[in-house]
Amino acid sequence: MPLRRIFAVSSVLFLLVLAISPAKNALRSYRSLQRQYRKLGSSRAHSLKAAQAYTARPVAIQQIWLRDFDNRVDRCTTCHLGVADPLMAGAPRPFDLHPGTPHTPGAFDRFGCTPCHGGQGLATTQGDAHGTSADAGPPMTPPVFIEAGCGRCHLSESVAGAPVLSRGRALIGRAGCYACHAVRGQDTFRSEAPPLATLPVKTGGEWVKRWLKDPKSIDPNATMPNFHLTDQAIDELSHFLFAAEVPKELASRIEAAAAEPPGTPANGKKLVSESRCITCHTIEGKGRGAAPELSKIASTASRGWLLAFLREPQAFNPRTPMPRYHFSETESRDVVAYLEDEFRDFDAPKEILEPLRVNQTLAENGRKLFRLYGCFSCHDPAGSGSEKFGPELDGIGDKRAQSLDFGRRTDLTRTLPAWLAAKLDSPRSFADGLKMPSYGFSADDSRAVITALLALGAQSVPERYRYAPPQKPALLPGGPVGSLIQSYRCLSCHQIGDRGADVSTAPLTFEGSKVKRDWLVDYLMLSYTLRPILEERMPVLKMPREDATQLADALQNFYLDPSIPEDPFAARPVSDADPVEGQRLYVGLGCRGCHILGTSGGYYGPPLTEAGKRLKPGWTYAWLKGPQRWRADVRCPDYGLSDTDALRLTAYLETLRPAASPAKPGSAARGAR
Amino acid sequence: MRFRMPTLALLVFLLVPGACARKPAPAAAKMPAAATMPAATTTPVAATTPVAPPPLRYEVRLGKVTFTHYCQTCHGESGAGDGFNAFNLDPHPRDLSDPEFQKKKSDAELADAIQRGGAGVGLSALMPPWGHTLSAGQIDELVLYLRTLPTLRKPAS
């Protein structure tokens, strides 16, 4: 009897236990979500048939098989049912349509969800899939950092359509992170930080101490971070820096310059404003901010050093982006006299530039600190060996929060982005003895940098999806032309192929097909403002005629684009009517909205008053046929001109000459308006 | 009484696996489900940002990028027709943020004016046609952004 009862009870229990798993499955939230989606879909459907299709949808797990990504499976569409359904635009989460991106809705089948968003594709509960459960895998990338997903495949610094990622990557480069941290593809990175050998004759002990305390307090553009050094460490480091042996040749140059007679500040003022220093430097907040703030430069560097540096900057820092200006002896004296007069820190003590009397014991301690804090990574990379000073950053984007050392920071949420944010904001707050300096990133900058860091994944992206835009070849001749390009630092602003900085709107890659030689020689000798709206304008380098001629000839010979015709009128000779028709087009298309011609016109594009003297007709024609072909982000609209119209407009622009050498149709144009 | 112990043992044996079913761990409980998505807003990064404007949809943001790049110079940051190049233009660009104007124009009309330019729709040629420069998608995004301009208007104006 009891045996029967036991058997009965245990059978019931056994059945109950068997029911646990199906019951759990039946109660999964995705089922009720899918039923809601049926209703939502049928209420939004435009036809009865479509509504029935929604109602007939089976309740089941949906998945995307990612063949190219290690055969991963993404089941996100089990709940996010409307991602590819245009009817679901504006529907509530999780049913809403995925925003249009370069890969959606076209490529859901290939990329699924997790390659961009992260998270656990295989999971079928929200907590596991989004990675918020304690035992789930790596979590999803929070939406503010979503461009990190783009960066997994798109490897170039600037990624079109991902401005935050691009900015983050640029910031990492500019802050010099690669000097200490190894990142794949950045092995050749070299900091622009100056070598420190001439420091004892450049500045004073007091200045060095202030700088080491907080570089940004002296120069808001400083790329050097704050190392939070103690006063004693600052003292020891200063003594070490002043114990450096100054190269004899440079020391004597500085000494000789210091002994020169004073210049005329008034003339210096004129030279400073016409040289367009603010293209790179800032002066009292005005300027691009890529180079040091000059407002207090005379309290930073001695007169002799300023003069010697101005005459040949690259002798003092071979990696400086500063070009060599060909000021005459007197002119450079005038410039420095002006700087000495106006650009000083009037609150600084008089002895700010007085050299430090070196104490050897302190200097010896300083030498150890110089190594301890990794100063050599930026200031003396040759002496540092191949080993990087900091930990490598590859794979940081896939670090599990559990494997991160939060140390004292118990206040942080245990997520990778929060950890990274705190590392950037106050790197020393995690534990004692940490060496990473702080960079003073703004909240926006920090977000951009974190986005770029999260893009450094450990998970492999299939080779065929790793995309870096093809390198455009950069022809950089050697010999005398090469050293001219070097000494005028053309690449600090202009691009040649993929080399150089994208500051100027005029890449030099096809400059020879674009501008006329004689104009170019004149322009190099005395550059003037082509685009008044730009703050970054070509500096007046005071190039001697032989240098200008040599450079112009090289540009005319090397930097050509074969698709720009030498003579666009070869097939269809220009007629007398063409310039007249072209002028009609010029007015009809509204070109004057952006371009100045004579005395009137818009303020946006380059003035066209001298178009015929400056531009080669082949270039004008090629440009008119599609401005965006020459630079993707050009604002000049593509008017979709026919060949004939483009040729007529070219013929008209070709007649536009400066007033000194009038050509008839050009002056007629000015008279008419 | 004799059978009570084995029954109990059996019960316990059977119930234990049921009880072991996964429960959300306490750490997860601390993070409410909703916090997963806007987790970023709770990180220190965003916490320090000043009052953020209401987030725009992705397409609208793309439209804004296009507007800032191509249109702002003449039409102005807020679309009021006060860009720095506007004073060179006669007629001046119109106030795009004017709700009355927006009511009068359909999306298709706005897109058409962008695509074919002023001359194309019988207005000033100083508004160039963008149909060969921007894709149809970009123009649609631009129209979406234009529609948000009246709501972004400063109350003073």
pLDDT digits (tens, 9 = 90+) for A228-283: 999 999 999 999 999 988 999 999 999 999 999 999 999 999 999 888 888 899 88
Give start-end residues of each CATH 2.60.40.420 domain in chain A: 163-182+390-465
**Closest to B110 in 3D by CA, of B83, B71, B52:** B71
Residue B37 has pLDDT above 70, yes or no: no
Q: Is B87 contained in some domain?
A: yes
* pLDDT at res. B112: 95
* Minimal Cβ distance to A637: which of B7, B88, B130: B130
Distance between CA atoms of residues A168 and A172, nearest Å: 6
For B89, the closest chain A residue by CA position comes to: A593
Domain limits for position B132? 58-152
Q: Are A305 and A317 in contact (CB under 8 A)?
A: no
pLDDT of B52 reads: 52
Q: Is there a domain that residue B127 lies in?
A: yes
Q: Using the beta-carbon criterion (under 8 Å), do A590 and B38 form an inter-chain contact?
A: no
Residue B52 domain flag = no
- Is the Cβ of B39 closer than 8 Å to some Cβ of chain A? yes
DSSP A534-603: -SS--------HHHHHHHHHHHHHHS--TTS-S-TTSSS---THHHHHHHHHHHHTTGGGT-EETTEE-S
> What's the pLDDT at B6?
55
Residue A86 pLDDT: 87
Let me know whether B42 and B106 are in one domain.
no
pLDDT of B75 > 90? The answer is yes
Please give the angle made by the CA atoms of A127, A131 and A136, to the nearest 5 degrees. Answer: 90
Same domain, B132 and B89: yes
> Per-residue pLDDT for B38 more than 50?
no
pLDDT for the residue B32: 40
Architecture of domain A577-672: Orthogonal Bundle (1.10)
Spacing of C-alpha A314 from chain mean position: 24
* pLDDT bucket at A478, cuts 50 / 70 / 90: confident
Same domain, B67 and B143: yes
- The winner for highest mean pLDDT among A289-293, A451-455, A664-668, B85-89 is A451-455
Tell the burial category of A416 from Cβ atoms under 10 Å away from its Cβ (0-12, 13-18, 19+).
Answer: buried
Measured between CB atoms, which of A13, A417, A638 is closest to B14? A13
The matching CATH number, chosen from 2.60.40.420, 1.10.10.10, 3.40.1180.10, 2.120.10.30, for A163-182+390-465 is: 2.60.40.420
Give the separation between CA A337 and CA A303, rounded to whole angstroms.
Answer: 8
In chain A, the residue whose alpha carbon lies closest to the alpha carbon of B12 is: A13
Distance CA A224, CA A580 (A): 59
**C-alpha distances out from residue A574 to A581, A641, B35, Å:** 11, 17, 69
Asked if residue B139 and residue B82 are part of one domain, the reply reads yes
Cα–Cα distance for residue pair A449/A231, rounded to 1 Å:
31
B131 touches chain A (CB under 8 A): yes
Token pair for A191: 């900091």
Judge whether B112 is closer than 8 Å to chain A, CB to CB.
no
Dist CA A132 CA A127 (whole Å): 5
CA distances from A354 to A84, A210, A299 (A): 70, 13, 11
Stated as kind and residue range, the H or E segment containing A368 is helix A360-372
Taking CA atoms, A60 is separated from A44, A109, A129, A596, B79, in Å, by 21, 18, 17, 65, 48
pLDDT on residue A24 = 85
Q: Which of A366, A397, A359 minimizes the C-alpha distance to A140?
A: A397
Helix (H) or strand (E) holding A287: strand A286-287
Q: Which residue in B67, B130, B56, B127 sits closest to B97, CA to CA?
A: B67
Q: Is the pLDDT of residue A608 over 90?
A: yes
Which homologous superfamily does the CATH classification assign to the domain defined by A479-558? Answer: Cytochrome c-like domain (1.10.760.10)
Average pLDDT over residues A612-620: 94
- State the Cα–Cα distance between residues B31 and A399, nearest whole angstrom: 20
Nearest chain B residue (CA) to A601: B88
Q: What is the rounded average pLDDT of the residues A30-35? A: 92
B21 lies in the same domain as B85:
no
Yes or no, beta carbons of A100 and B58 under 8 Å apart: yes
Taking 70 as the threshold, does the pLDDT of residue B2 lie above it? Answer: no
Q: Is B8 exposed, middle or buried (0-12, 13-18, 19+ CB in 10 A)?
A: exposed
Could you report the per-residue pLDDT of A624-639, keeping only the tens digit for each? 999 999 888 899 999 9
Q: How far is CA B117 from CA A597, A600, A636, in A?
A: 22, 22, 13
Q: CB-based contact (8 Å) between B11 and chain A? A: yes
What digits encode the pLDDT tens for the residues A391-422?
899 889 988 888 899 999 999 998 999 999 99
Exposed/middle/buried for residue A470 (C-beta within 10 Å: 0-12, 13-18, 19+): exposed
Note the pLDDT of residue A400. Answer: 87
Whether B64 and B122 share a structural domain: yes
Q: How far is B70 from chain A (nearest CA, A)?
A: 6
Q: Is the pLDDT of residue A560 over 60?
A: yes
Measured between alpha carbons, how far is A179 from A378 in angstroms, rounded to an integer? 6
Q: CA of A471: how far to CAs of A475, A499, A500, in Å?
A: 12, 9, 13
Cα angle value A64/A70/A73 (rounded, 5°): 25
Q: Say if residue B70 is in the same domain as residue B17.
A: no
**Residue in A closest to B58 by C-alpha:** A99
Q: Alpha-carbon distance A186 to A323, whole Å?
A: 25
Are residues A578 and A648 in contact, defined by beta-carbon separation less than 8 angstroms?
A: yes
Q: What's the CATH code of the domain at B143?
A: 1.10.760.10
Domain total of chain B: 2
Task: For residue A189, give Cα distances in angstroms to A126, A380, A392, A453, A573.
Answer: 42, 13, 14, 17, 52
CATH class of A199-370: mainly alpha
> Does B69 lie in the same domain as B99?
yes
Residue of A126, A134, A418 with shortest CB distance to B44: A418
- Give whole-number Cα distances, A378 to A195, A237, B136, in Å: 9, 16, 48
What is the bridge-based pairing of β-strands A286-287 and A596-597?
Answer: unpaired
Q: Where in chain A is the domain with CATH 1.10.760.10?
A: 479-558, 577-672
Q: What whole-number distance in Å separates Cα of residue A486 and Cα of residue A484?
A: 5
What would the pLDDT profile of A361-374 be if each residue is shown by its tens digit?
A: 999 999 999 988 98
**Mean pLDDT of the region A176-191:** 87
What per-residue confidence (pLDDT) applies to B48?
Answer: 45
CA angle (A165, A171, A176) in 5-degree steps: 135
Identify any residues that bridge with A496 across adjacent strands, giving them in sequence order: A499
Three-state helix/strand/coil letters over A47-89: CHHHHHHHHCCCCCCCCEEECCCCCEEECHHHCCCCCCCHHHC
Q: Do A639 and B132 touch (CB under 8 A)?
A: yes
**Residue A516 near residue A616, CB atoms below 8 Å:** yes
| Same domain flag for B32 and B102 | no
Residue A161 CB neighbours (<10 A): 13
In chain A, what residues touch B24 (CB-CB under 8 Å)? 127, 133-134
Tell me if A194 sits within 8 A of A188, measured CB to CB.
Answer: no
B9 vs A: CB within 8 A: no
Chain A residues within an 8 Å CB radius of B133: 627-628, 637-638
Q: Which helix (H) or strand (E) holds B152?
A: helix B136-152
At A662, the pLDDT band (50, 70, 90 cuts) reads: very low
Q: Which residues of B touch A673 (CB under 8 A)?
A: none
Residue B4: predicted pLDDT? 59
List the single residue in A with minimal CA-CA distance to B20. Answer: A20
C-alpha–C-alpha distance, residues A533 and A515, integer Å: 21
**CB spacing of A17 vs B18 below 8 angstroms:** yes
Contact A321, A288 (CB under 8 A): no
Whether B11 maps to a domain, the answer reads yes
- Comparing A33-42, A65-74, A414-423, B8-17, the range with the smallest average pLDDT is B8-17
Which of A594, A642, A673 has the most B C-beta neighbours within 10 Å, making it the best mutation to test the interface with B?
A594
Report the length, in residues, of chain A. 673
A219 vs A213: CA distance, rounded Å:
12
For residues A229 and A241, what is the distance between their CA atoms, to the nearest angstrom?
15
Chain B residues within 8 A of A632 when measuring between CB atoms: none
- Give Cα A369 to chain centroid, integer Å: 32
**3-class DSSP state for residue A467?**
strand
Tokens of A247: 């190269």
pLDDT digits over A456-472, tens only? Answer: 987 778 888 888 877 77
CB–CB of B133 and A594 under 8 A?
A: no
Residues of B in contact with A17 (CB under 8 A): 14, 17-18
Query: Closest-CA residue in chain A for B68?
Result: A635
Whether the per-residue pLDDT at A483 is higher than 90: the answer is yes
Q: Which pair of tokens denotes residue A530?
A: 């082509």
Q: What is the rounded CA–CA span in Å between residue A8 and residue A607?
A: 98
Q: In Å, how far are A16, A250, B19 from A11, measured between CA atoms? A: 9, 97, 19
How big is the CA angle at A44 (ends B102 and B36), to the nearest 5 degrees? 85
Nearest CB to B43 within list A13, A417, A604: A417
pLDDT computed for residue A636 by the predictor: 92
H-helix segments, A227-359: 231-242, 248-258, 265-274, 303-311, 313-316, 329-342
Q: Does B13 touch chain A (CB under 8 A)?
A: no
CB contact under 8 A, B43 and A421: yes
Provide the total of helices (H) and of strands (E) in chain B, helices listed first.
9, 0
The percentage of residues in chain A with a pLDDT greater than 90, rounded to a whole number, is 57
Residues B11 and B71 in one domain: no
Per-residue confidence at A322, pLDDT binned at 50, 70, 90?
very high
| pLDDT at residue B1 is higher than 60 | no
Please tell me the number of Cα atoms within 13 Å of B128 on its side-chain side: 26
If you average pLDDT over residues A596-616, what whole number do you get? 90
